[in-house]
Structure 1
Amino acid sequence: MARSSSGGETLGRKIAGIDEAGRGPVIGPMVIATVVVDERKIPKLEELGVKDSKKLTPKRRERLFDKILGLADDYTVLVLSPEEISSREGTLNEFEVENFARALNSLKIKPDVIYADAADVDEKRFARELEARLNFKAEIISKHRADALFPVVSASSIVAKVTRDREIEKLKEEYGEIGSGYPSDPRTRAFLETYYRQHGDFPPIVRRNWKTLRKIAEKLAKEKKRRGQASLDEFLKG
């Protein structure tokens, strides 16, 4: 329902979108972003051309970033370090819902309705878990692929993705080519293997409890053992 200010002006409901970027990578942070707009601004978000951030080029996302924040009534961005992610208690889903709530609770303008990208296979359960952690009352609509369904979540998805991309660029300035940070990226795996060979450990920018690291360490340990055995065989033959 619309409400009136003391001056008689009719105000629309405040609508929030919340999403994350970087849930799955082995390198770098996870970023959670919220965007709050008056419901009357939703058509303006659509006019900007916001959509699922994965369907936009990096340049397009960068151009939209400032426009989205300029249109927002309020927003928050949480950058969660690899150390925070690795040292978490509970599952990644639990960690995500805790920090979704943390981002929403830090808003100065509390939304009436929250559209959230559900991290849980059970959308309604994710909504209940999120609602239980809020310090204010709001209607929560939790959906899978919410970033493709609701412009305000698309907007938060873009803010989160641009922020994470910028964080990755900072890491590249320090460490060189690290790829996207995702385990499936050959450049990322090559960087991790090379770094481990040179230092006997992984860099501080990784999520230490990711299976990817254990597999790489086991692979390189086997290679080292094979080289050692080959060297021993050659010595004995000589």
Structure 2
Amino acid sequence: MYITMEPGSELAWELYAGIDEAGRGPIVGPLIIAGVVISGKCMNKLSTLGVKDSKQLTKAQREKLIDVIYESARYIIIAEIPPHLIDAYNINMLEEDTIAYLVSRIVAVNSHLKLKEISIDAVGSSKQLAQKIREVVPKSVRVVIEEKADRKYVAVSAASIVAKVWRDRRIDALKTIYGNFGSGYPTDPNTRRWIHDMYSLDPYNPPPIIRRTWGTLKTLAPLWYKKKRQTVAGREKTQKTLADFLPKI
């Protein structure tokens, strides 16, 4: 699912884009990847208001700041990747393909503006991701791919907050359907208890919000566990690439 919004901003300012994810490690729920484009002027404003790595903020702080980000951003795009796709692909390549797609949309939508820099919180092979990004980004745009970029670049911090809030809201909605499964992380006692209870009720039909290739299921819910298919150069032998499922530009 892809959602975009363009509140508009000062067209004369240089623009900075940031991309980050939330929900890579949990055994329950989707992976969210967000891209945020802000002007240099708004970047200073967001920094002053406390926009930083979402992991350093409370849930209440994130909810407050996301409204400011929505009001200030030139463009926001969000990808929600469900568990069945996470189970079907190498997660690093899944993220790389999705990030490359988001970047291509950011470049296309802002092609008439002064896009100066795209900063990305590193996942998987930074070299491989950089190659994919360079295929869709003009040479005039600086590309930065760094670990912990959400602590250094305001645009990435904003994307981190958007991704985290979006996932938190999705998790809250899923709990109204499937019950309280805790944080969704495999080390969370509440999550493990929920898996045990759900498995006891039906060992043959796991909830669709479960990532079935996570090793935790081998002991907690063995009939739910599904081994990832073998890959060739990181791709599924018999499946299309993620790009085949994404909207064409």
Q: Same fold (TM over 0.5)?
A: yes
Where does the alignment leave 5 or more consecutive residues of structure 1 unmatched?
1-8, 221-238
Taking the TM superposition and a 5 Å limit, the aligned residue runs for 1:30-179 are 30-88=31-89, 91-107=90-106, 108-110=109-111, 111-120=115-124, 122-132=125-135, 134=136, 136-137=138-139, 138-179=141-182
Deviation of 1:13 (Å)? 2.1
Among all aligned residue pairs of Structure 1 and Structure 2, give the percentage whose two residues are the same amino acid: 40
Matched with 1:199 is: 202
**Structure with greater proportional helix content:** 1
Deviation of 1:124 (Å)? 4.1
- Could you say what the CA RMSD is over the residues aligned between the two structures, in angstroms? 2.1
Moved over 6 A (4+): none
Q: Is 1:215 the equivalent of 2:219? A: yes
Q: From the superposition, tell whether residues 210 and 143 of structure 1 become closer, same or farther in structure 2 (CA, over 3 Å).
A: same
**Structure 2 residue identity aligned to 1:21:** A
Given that residues 35 and 152 in structure 1 are in contact (C-alpha distance below 8 angstroms), is that contact kept between their aligned partners in structure 2? yes
- In 2: Cα distance, 1:58 partner to 1:162 partner: 8
Given that residues 36 and 72 in structure 1 are in contact (C-alpha distance below 8 angstroms), is that contact kept between their aligned partners in structure 2? yes
3-state SS of the aligned residue for 2:34?
A: strand
- In 2: Cα distance, 1:58 partner to 1:10 partner: 32
Given that residues 18 and 35 in structure 1 are in contact (C-alpha distance below 8 angstroms), is that contact kept between their aligned partners in structure 2? yes
Given that residues 123 and 144 in structure 1 are in contact (C-alpha distance below 8 angstroms), is that contact kept between their aligned partners in structure 2? no
**Structure 2 residue identity aligned to 1:100:** I
Where does the alignment leave 5 or more consecutive residues of structure 2 unmatched?
1-9, 225-249
- In 2: Cα distance, 1:177 partner to 1:163 partner: 18
Given that residues 86 and 211 in structure 2 are in contact (C-alpha distance below 8 angstroms), is that contact kept between their aligned partners in structure 1? yes
Q: From the superposition, tell whether residues 100 and 178 of structure 1 become closer, same or farther in structure 2 (CA, over 3 Å).
A: same
3-state SS of the aligned residue for 1:112?
A: strand
TM-score (norm 2): 0.78
Taking the TM superposition and a 5 Å limit, the aligned residue runs for 1:24-35 are 24-35=25-36
**Structure 1 residue identity aligned to 2:95:** E
**Structure 1 residue identity aligned to 2:178:** Y
**Count of aligned pairs:** 208
Q: From the superposition, tell whether residues 145 and 114 of structure 1 become closer, same or farther in structure 2 (CA, over 3 Å).
A: same
Deviation of 1:17 (Å)? 0.4
3-state SS of the aligned residue for 2:151?
A: helix
Deviation of 1:55 (Å)? 0.8
Report the structure number with the largest CA radius of gyration. Answer: 1
Deviation of 1:131 (Å)? 2.4
- In 2: Cα distance, 1:181 partner to 1:10 partner: 41
- In 2: Cα distance, 1:189 partner to 1:62 partner: 27
- In 2: Cα distance, 1:100 partner to 1:126 partner: 8
Given that residues 14 and 40 in structure 2 are in contact (C-alpha distance below 8 angstroms), is that contact kept between their aligned partners in structure 1? yes
Given that residues 203 and 223 in structure 2 are in contact (C-alpha distance below 8 angstroms), is that contact kept between their aligned partners in structure 1? no
3-state SS of the aligned residue for 1:194?
A: helix
3-state SS of the aligned residue for 1:11?
A: coil
TM-score (norm 1): 0.81
Q: What CA deviation, in whole Å up to 9, does each residue of 1:192-237 have, x standing for no partner?
A: 11101111132111111111122322499xxxxxxxxxxxxxxxxx
3-state SS of the aligned residue for 2:219?
A: helix
Given that residues 115 and 150 in structure 1 are in contact (C-alpha distance below 8 angstroms), is that contact kept between their aligned partners in structure 2? yes
Given that residues 98 and 130 in structure 1 are in contact (C-alpha distance below 8 angstroms), is that contact kept between their aligned partners in structure 2? no
Deviation of 1:135 (Å)? 6.0
